[in-house]
Structures are given as structure tokens and as C-alpha cells.
Chain A
Amino acid sequence: MRRCLPGSLARRRLPSRSLTTSTAQTSWRIAVQNKNASVNALVYVAPDDAGTISEAVKDNICTKNMPTTCSSAMLRDFTSPFDATVVQLLNDSGATIIGKTNCDEFGMGSLNIHSVHGPVVNPYQHPASAMEWHVRERRSAGGSSGGSAAAVAAGMCDVALATDTGGSVRLPASYCGVVGLKPSYGLISRWGVVSFADSLDCVGIIGKNVASTSRVFDVLSKFDERDPTAARSSTREKAQELSSEQMAEGLSCSRDLTDLHIGIPQEYFPASLDSSIVSPFRRVVHALKTRGATVLPVSLPSTRYALSAYYVIASAEASSNLARYDGVQYGLHGTYALTADAFDNYFLQSQRLRQCIRDDFMRVFRVPNPLAESPARNEAGVHVLLHPSAVCTAPHLDEQDGLDAYTQDVLTVPASLAGLPALSVPIMAGAEGDGWPLGVSIVGQWGCEKMVLAVGAAIEDVELKRESLA
């Protein structure tokens, strides 16, 4: 099968009338019309458009005027009676929500192939390819927010909302060559976001560039009393204060990075990391040094436990959260980790490992932890960490044998377990690779989004300069 066929459901839901309206055919609508059949990024397209900024919303975020299927047959006909807080905030900001984006079922997956709407096909095409775009190489857009990343990459919208539990924003952003932000846990309301694993779930933002991602983050980062895990205003202010204290030292402008200390975590270069990713990464590090940044190697020794801890916690919470859909039918065929006999050895052990991973991060950061009772200062610490976003470029969709979805998350889950902000920014591929998009991730202290985004903008600037030179 050469062409990706969107699920029959998805096609049924695309109102044909909207595709033929000629009066105000904005660029995003043309992109949807021309590309969505091939990319399968949008599973529902809104019939009207009025706003200036076009935004798409992942299909596991509730909207009262559009279906919310979570890419699951279980919610095939579900429309929520309410808008998620983030949808309300977007609407209030004057954005046009153009539709709902494809994803892995309930956000569980790393390739966006587990969807009742069919897989998302990465819209990227290598510039040297002689093939027509519609018959381009079929590669994954990443998951679980593949639809959101692909929609932005294909120009169907300016920004897309997504969710990130263990890398679901950063991985597709990296594979599709767009910017993806997973904010600090608790900054953006989860009210109306269908739970996968509540202690890890974050609403994330995927944008064309750092500036548009940052603008939407500012719109969404608000305290919401409907989310019991939302960070209080006082905590936000404290984080802001601690972060800007350190920001003042440098980062005032992306050209001059004097006083910026960047840590390169040694554990983030596993054997599975594609060698062709290392040299572009080195090039970026070098460019940042040239602009004055101090780059230091750091160690996060508990990283090797992250994937195991993540999968125990995420699947335990998921089995609980999914009970409402199928519990009566399937009963206790849920997570082994929660059974009375296994609870201590698996669930509690994973919680302990999660704390070790958190402690690792807290040891290396210069900015004190705003969530700690008495935040300790670490003058020798780094402002942010920098590492490749993914171990490889977008995997081929039709050769799934070699794909191990679990290991796709190895570089992204530590920040999720620690609840830290992480931003994936696209970088240019090196000559030795396959030429597909790559991303680097910037991880910062809790609440240091401004700092993380500023470093992201610096890297974006480095890449722009290089592109214009090339």
C-alpha cells in the first residue's frame, strides 16, 4: 500500500464543504486540502475559520464542538460536554481551532501507528528526492502526538496542542522537524485532557518556531482550580523569581551566551543512538560555545533506570484510568505491578527510582528547585541540559519489524519523571545521515520555561545563520 489511507472514520468526518469554500481560503486550509489525505494528521476539520492564528488540538483534549476520540474505537462517537481549560484559553486568545489531530490511542505509543484513524505519515520529504510529494518515502511522524507535529510541519496550522507523558511531544517534533515544548508538570491545566498517566501527563505545544510556541505557552500557563495538580500562583512566582535571577546573568540576547552554563548529560548517548546524530549535535554545541556559552559534561547516574520506572508507573496509572472504558468487560486484567504481591517490588520501587532520577537533576541545576521547602543553591551547577531528542530519525512506517517503540522514549522519559520543562528544537542534519529532521532537547529546572525557550531561540538562531550561509 503506497498511499496512507486515513481511516474511513476520519474521511467521513472531514466536511467537504469546508474544503471547497473559496471566500477565505487561508494558507492552512489549502494545506489541509492538499496534504491531509496523504499525511492523515487531522482527524476532524472544523467547518469555519475566523481567527488569525490557526491551531490544531490533539484528539485526547476535550472540545465541546468537535469529537474527542483519543484515536480509540471506544470513544468513536464521543463528543465531550465541555471544553478543556486549554481549549477555552485558546479560544479566548482569539485563535482559530482548525480541527483535531491524530494520535496514538489515548496517547500511548511512540510512532502514531496505533490509531483507529490509521497511522500518521510524516510530511517531510528529503529536498534531494525526485519523487512526487504524495508518493514520498513513508516514515513515521513519531508519537503519540504525530498528528499535531505533522500538521504543523505540513503548514496545516501555526501551532498544535499535544500531550506528553513520556516524550509524546518531543519525539514527533524531532521526527517532523518542528519545535515541541513539554512544560513543567503542573503549569498547564489538565482539566479536559483525557488521562493516560496523571502523574506524568502534560499538555505540550508544537510550533513552527520557538517564538510561536512561546506565545501559546504564555496563553496556557495559568493556574486552574479545576486541576488538583495545578501549580499555585505563589509557586509560579517563586519559580519565576529564581529563574530570572539566573537569567539576568546571561541570555539577554541569543547572540551573546556568556555566563550560560550548559550541561551535557553523559548518560544520554546510549549505544542505540544513531552515530549520524552525534556530529550535528556536536556542531550545535560548538556553535553555542562560540557564542560564549560554557559547556560542561554532567552525570545523571539514575538515567538507566528511567525507562523501566517509567513503564511501570505509566502502565499502572493507565490501567487505572482506562478502567472506566472497559473495566466491567475485562475486569482485573490490568497491571501486574498493582497486584498485592507485586506492588512493593514494582510500583513502590519505581516510585523510589523516580525520586532518584529527580534528585539527579536537582544536583546538576544551578537554579534552585522552586518546589523544595528550602531550595539549595548550587553555584557550580548548569542552567540547562542539552541532549539529542531522539536516538534516530523518523523510522520507516512499512518496516516495523526493527522498531522498538519502547526504546524510542529513552531520552525523553527522565524529564517526564522529574516533571521538568523540555524543549525539542530542530537542527540541520549532517552529511553522514539520511537527511531527515533531527532535534536537540533543552531541559531546565522546574518552572524555567523562559530560560529553556531562550536557549531554544539561540539554537534556532544558530541554525538560521547556518542555513543562510549554506
Chain B
Amino acid sequence: MQGYTQPVYPFAAIVGQDEMKRALLLAAVDPQIGGVLIMGHRGTAKSTAVRALAQLLPPPATNGLYAEMTVEERLVRFPLFAESESAARKKAGAPMVDLPLSATEDRVVGSLDIEAALKRGEKAFQPGLLARAHGGFLYIDEVNLLEDHLVDLLLDVAASGVNIVEREGFSVRHPARFVLVGSGNPEEGDLRPQLLDRFGLYTQVETITDVRLRMELVRRNEAFLNDPQAFLEQWEPAQRELRETIARARERLEAVTVPDRVLKRIVELCLRLNIDGHRGEMTLTRAARALAALQDRQRVTAGDVRRVAVMSLRHRLRRDPLEEIDSGEKIQQAMQGLLVGR
């Protein structure tokens, strides 16, 4: 990726939207939660938050695809990978790869390197965005407006973890495991259920209506626009703290335990909500563990579960189209019911 960089609004300075921020932090602590989908009105800092998150991520330990290949594969099959790999290494931070709406299929999956072919007569494979996102995050802004053929392709790869390229005489397979992060406005078009299912957490953002928060938001936006450098410096201590918290939580994560009592609660909740499959309770457990790790605790509590239940389960409920109550409320009610039932 060549180009320039523009200043990124710091994560720590985002006003309100606590659920969204929490979801993003959890995904950063444990990528296995399976990504985050942020849906809400325009102008609610969705893409700002995602781009800001990328600034908080520690550099990846194994730098993507290259690390998983044998030497032979590197040299024979992907002569260009070495080049892109060293370029990637120079960049700080984890790969947060943008998948723009205007992307073409060849750039997503990878294809013949035209320049190498024409300039040097080489038939070389130019890896695509899926290869670049391997081991990191793939971000799709306006995910519900992404063209169908790209969605199909993403679903295939996300399900199998392998990208298979059969085109232009290439026959390439490479691992492509990435965390999907998406954002969009649900009123502009719906997400296909298959794609919805690929996201671990679903958070809904709403317009902030608290007048004082709104004022603070305007003030910070103005300050950032007027002097981004000064603003970033002002927020650097808070950012550093967040970065350290995430790094600590990542280390701690494996040690966090889930007591049977809490696990039982998780399963009961999913049963009560009639959630199909096991992805619901697995995500909920992982999210609760990540939250405990973020707060520097060894054990998951019922409180952790309560605080991540809505975002882990909201998109997994069977939808009754005319139901007045929101899925989030339904989950809250089910949790209340469990408490009372004891």
C-alpha cells in the first residue's frame, strides 16, 4: 500500500458510545471472538472508532501469511511475498486492512502481478487483501452496501480460513484467517443473515442525546480539526494507557477461568432465548473472559456475562418481524428471569 497518512482521531477521545467501544476492545483482546459489527445511524463515530482501534493494537507477533509458509513455498510459489512482507514489517501496528466498496475481485483474492509480467516478463502472484488481512482485521465500512459477489467470496473464505485462487493460470491456496469488522446503517439495506452470523459481536450505536455529551463531542471535534497534532499529544497519555491495558489483557487472557456456575448461567441464557447452534454460548463465554482480562481479573463473574450478553447474542435471536421489543431488551429480560428463577 502506497500513499500518505492522515491523522487518526484517538480512540480514548471518543465521546460516549460505551457499548461500541467495549465491543471493539474485546475483539482486540481476543480476536477469536470473531469480529464486531457496528450498526447505527450516520454520524455516530462508527468508522472513526474502528480506525482509532487500529492505533491501539500491538504489532502482530507472527506477521501474517508469510510466517506460516515453508521456505519452499515462499520462494517458489510467492516470490513477491518476501517483498510485501518486509514492507508490512516496517509499519507499526496490527494489520487493519480496509476493504473499500470499490474493490475489485482480483485485488481481494489476489491475481497476476501485471507490472512484473510486463516489465520483467515474470508470472508472479500479487497477493490480495485477504492475504494482507491474514492474522489481523479486515474492515468493511458500509458493509451492507458491499456488492453481492464480494460478500459471497468473503463468506467462503471466512468459513474455510483458506483462500483458493484459480485464475489467470494460477492455482494458489493460502491461509486467510482474519477478523471481520464491519459498520453500516441498517436503514440503507439489510445484511444477509449468513454474513451477520460471521460476526462475533453486534453492537448498535445510537445518536447521543445527552446535551452535555453532545457539547463535549463538538468541542473535541473542533479541537481535533483545528490542530490535530496538539490534540493527539493531549490524548497520548490516555492512549498509552489503553494500549497497555489491551496488551496486559492479551497476556492474561489464557489464565482467565470460567467457573462452572457462570458457564451454566451462560448456557441457560442461550437455551432460554432459543438460540440455534453453539456459536452463541461460545462467543458469550469468550467475550466475558476478554472482559475479565481487560479488568485485570482472573475469574469471570456473572456481572461480566451480563455486560456482554446483549452484544454477543443480539444478532442470533430468531427474528419476529413485528415484535415491538428490541432484541437487546429481550435478552435483558431473559437475564432478569434467570435471576428471579434462582
Is B one of A's binding partners?
A: no
The residues of B with any CB-CB pair to A shorter than 8 Å are none
